[in-house]
Amino acid sequence: MKIRTTAMVSPEQWGACNPLSRTMLEDAGVKLIRNDKKRLLVEDEMKELIRGCDVAICGAEPMTAEVMDQAPELRFIARCAVGLDSIDLNAARERNIGVSYVPGANADTVAELTLTHILMLIRGVQKGDALMRQGKWLRVLGRSLEELTVGIIGMGRIGRRTAKLLSAFGAKIIANDIDPDESINSYLPVEWVSKNRLLKEADIICLHVPKTPATIDIINEEELNLMKNDAFLVNTARGGLINEEALFDALNKNKIAGAGLDVYDKEPYLGGPLSKLENIIMTCHMGANTIVSRARMEIQAAECLIAYLDGDHIPRIVPDSEYDLQIAMKNR
């Protein structure tokens, strides 16, 4: 196959779960310049890797204006993820670089991790595990989902899938969304409530909203004070939605029962104060990291890149609203 173009591929796990995405690109005449460091690249490493590339596939690595300027011929970026935080979209637009992403590709797996955090918290799994490792046989008394009310803030793709999983366990579901879609009630038993009522009534609160100027610190000291003392808070959406200092204070003083976090204000989160607490479950932004989800995201990103090269309609192109959102975030 004749080489048509050269692509930087910065995600360190690209093709590890399923080689199809790599084969698709190679069959389309794409020469791959890959990240061989087996870790997330920093900006200077991205600058080095992207030189001489016409197109790029990226994950959580920083795709800044400075990185783009190292590849003057760069014309298309396929983001192998849903969130766009790591790409300077408006810098791409100024340089005539198209951008695609893969919305919805990881919704099921993020919902599953949310459920995992919930079950571990209400059943005290982490406490039971710690006791066993200490040589102590003490059965932890937990709670059952069928007796609990779960409040979901944000009923988009992942919020709806989380609600579906929880409804199978018999949990009562209450929800809050900036634009409630009441058609959901045709297939899910959801009660729409105000944010304050949700905070006061829910035994478990899950966040499934994007990071926008309106959602930064959506859970702060005031919101935590409205929650029940025996309630749990779970965030598998985006870092920055919860004020981490306020959360530490609430957990440290047992104002709430516990929390489960997969995302943080600054990542990687290593050795911060929250990690010293026993009433929190912490995972490392792994909501989308399953074999099926990784393969799906990689294949969809490859499809977008190939469509660009062939001059076809590009599926999942980033809409103008996402560009506007980044401008609003910068001006906040």
- Looking at domain 107-282, its CATH superfamily turns out to be NAD(P)-binding Rossmann-like Domain (3.40.50.720)
Long-range contacts (CB closer than 8 Å, 24 or more residues apart) made by 91-95? 91/64, 91/65, 92/63, 92/68, 93/323, 94/65, 95/65, 95/68, 95/69
pLDDT of residue 13: 85
pLDDT of residue 219: 99
**Window from 47-51, 91-95, 209-213, 238-242 with minimum mean pLDDT:** 209-213
CB 175, CB 193: distance < 8 Å: yes
Mean pLDDT over residues 202-219, rounded? 95
What is residue 82's DSSP assignment? S
Pick the CATH number of 5-105+290-330 from 1.20.140.10, 3.40.50.300, 1.10.275.30, 3.40.50.720: 3.40.50.720
Stretch (H or E) spanning 30 = strand 30-34
Kindly provide the residue ranges of all beta strands, DSSP E only, lying in 127-262, ordered along the sequence: 149-153, 172-176, 190-192, 204-207, 232-235, 258-261
- Computed over every residue of the chain, the mean pLDDT equals 96
Residues 264, 302: Cα–Cα separation, whole Å: 29
Residues 256, 45: Cα–Cα separation, whole Å: 42
Mean pLDDT over residues 198-218, rounded? 96
Residues 122, 132: Cα–Cα separation, whole Å: 18
Tokens standing for residue 257: 């029962």
Q: Which of 158, 151, 234 is nearest to 193 (CA)?
A: 151
End-to-end Cα, the chain, rounded Å = 49
Catalytic residues: 238, 267, 285
Q: Taking 80 as the threshold, does the pLDDT of residue 238 lie above it?
A: yes
pLDDT > 70 in the chain, percent? 99
pLDDT of residue 1: 65
| DSSP-assigned states of every residue in 263-289 | --SSSS--S-GGGG-SSEEE--S-TT-
What is residue 97's DSSP assignment? -
pLDDT of residue 85: 87
Domain with CATH 3.40.50.720 in the chain: 5-105+290-330, 107-282
Sign of CA pseudo-dihedral 169, 148, 154, 240: negative
- Compute φ and ψ for 30, nearest 5 degrees: -100, 120
| pLDDT tens track for 162-207 | 999 999 999 999 999 999 999 999 999 999 999 999 999 999 999 9
- Give the residue with greater pLDDT, 331 vs 197: 197
pLDDT of residue 184: 96
pTM, full prediction: 0.92
Q: Taking 90 as the threshold, does the pLDDT of residue 112 lie above it?
A: yes
Q: Distance of alpha carbon 133 from its chain centroid, rounded?
A: 32
Residues 188, 126: Cα–Cα separation, whole Å: 31
Please count the other Cβ atoms lying within 10 Å of the Cβ belonging to residue 10.
27
pLDDT of residue 329: 82
The b-or-e profile of 285-316 (16+ CB within 10 A means b, else e) is: bebbbbeebbbbbbbbbbbbbbbbbeeeebeb
Residues 6+ away with beta carbon under 8 Å from 10: 35, 41, 46, 49, 56, 57, 58, 59, 61
